[in-house]
Amino acid sequence: MRATKALIHLDNFTANIKAVRDHLKTAGSSSPLLCVPVKADGYGHGAVPVARAALKAGANFLAIATVDEGVELRDAGIDSPILLLSQALPSEMETVAEHSLSPFVADKDAAKLIADAAAMTRKGKKLPVHIKIDTGMGRMGCYPNEAAELAACIASFGSLEIAGTATHLAVSDSAVPDDIAYTKKQIEKFNQAVNSIKAAGYNPGIVHAANTGAAIAHSDAWFDMVRPGILLYGYPPGGITPRLLVRPVMEVVTNIVFIKQVKKGDSISYGRTWTAPHDTVVGIIPIGYGDGLPRILSKDFDFTINGIQYPLAGRICMDQCMIDLGADTDVKRWDEVSVFGGAYPAAHNAATIAARIGTIPYEITCNINKRVARVYV
């Protein structure tokens, strides 16, 4: 196997789930169900192994974004409820119904399409669907005042069952007072919409709203089920620090595959942006932007070898980059290098990388691509 790989620490994933479940118990006697998002190949960690670990650790639901992601889980023999979070095309509806994926339904047209597909493929067995309400995310969802009518529409189809009612929060991961007020407003609108469904005589099913931000900071958004994603993969979201401890699940590692002596003034890599300030030793590692390591990190990055930080030297190439190991280094050829996500406190993780380049940890783990084998440890 190639040097560069993503170690997926499933023990950390399981421990993170336990930490979140313990945190949810603070709700009192009836802690909410847990839905684990495994979309985008489990945030880059590998959907099937992560889904299996999640269910083993007590998850009640999985969530995916594309129909193909749902089919992958079913083909792997996973038979838990699976929420389909994004809108499928008309041509995909039969696959949704056949594989018992529970789609978010946000309008009557889509309800009719999925109802017809369910009637055709499920031999009388109702397909559970979840009503999706837009309370302020501005993404998929009916407006709160349309929720009761949509419930009536769904209920009118013999092939569908209203299994849940959901919304999604836009700024639940922020500690800014205006954002907290916005989240409270979203929760209030959602409560009103759920009540309107009940008042019209329909059972809203499992009521759910909380992503990671709300699972941490808004217990009034927990309802019957929560859907925290990034927290389970080991990262707090955005601007709030959770009281519970989670650890990164993905650790990207590689090895020093070549070592060279470099003279003062020698340049390293494309563009000659780095020249040796003194005689030194440079190590080469086989990872680059072709693996999903952002090239923009070329400005300033460091790697951890045997617990010690060493700076990147020069630009990140497609398949390789170079490390300044220093003149009297102890580092040897073939030594292991932790790129990010390792247990050393000073080592980079997806959050420190994200902060450095102005993005979020989600994007860092998702972008580690299929050239990097996932190794489950």
Q: Report the nearest approach of ligand PLP to the CB of residue 209 (Å).
A: 9
Is 37 a binding residue for ligand PLP by CB under 6 A? The answer is: yes
Minimum distance of ligand PLP from residue 213's CB (angstroms): 7
Nearest CA-CA partner of 64 in 50, 29, 152? 50
Applying the rule CB under 6 A, the residues between 140 and 169 that interact with ligand PLP are 168
Residue 135 near ligand PLP by CB under 6 A: no
Closest contact distance (angstroms) between CB of 38 and ligand PLP is 10
**Whole-number Å distance between alpha carbons of 335 and 4:** 12
CA angle, 63 as apex, 59 and 69 as ends, to 5°? 125
For residue 220, give the amino acid letter.
D
Between the alpha carbon of residue 7 and those of residues 14, 44, 209, 249, 347, the distances in Å are: 15, 11, 31, 8, 15
Does the annotation mark 263 as catalytic?
no
Among 7-15, 224-232, 297-305, 366-374, the segment contacting ligand PLP (CB under 6 A):
224-232
Nearest residue to 66 via CA among 105, 90, 92, 94: 92
Q: Which of 333, 352, 330 is nearest to 341 (CA)?
A: 352
- Using CB under 6 A as the binding rule, whether residue 81 contacts ligand PLP is answered as no
Residue 39 annotated as catalytic:
yes
User: Does residue 211 touch ligand PLP according to CB under 6 A?
Assistant: yes
Residue 229 sits in the site that holds ligand PLP (CB under 6 A): yes
Q: How far is the CB of 6 from ligand PLP (least distance, A)?
A: 18
Q: Which of 184, 198, 260, 270 is catalytic?
A: 270
Dump the DSSP string for 84-133.
E-SPPPGGGHHHHHHTTEEEEE-SHHHHHHHHHHHHHHSTTPPEEEEEEE
Does residue 212 belong to the site contacting ligand PLP (CB under 6 A)? yes
Q: Give yes or no for residue 227 binding ligand PLP (CB under 6 A).
A: yes
Query: Residue 204 interacts with ligand PLP (CB under 6 A)?
Result: no
Told to check if 247 binds ligand PLP by CB under 6 A, we report no
- The gap from C-alpha 307 to its chain's centroid, in whole angstroms, comes to 28
Which residues are marked as active site?
39, 270
Which chain residues interact with ligand PLP by CB under 6 A? 37, 85, 168, 211-212, 227-230, 237
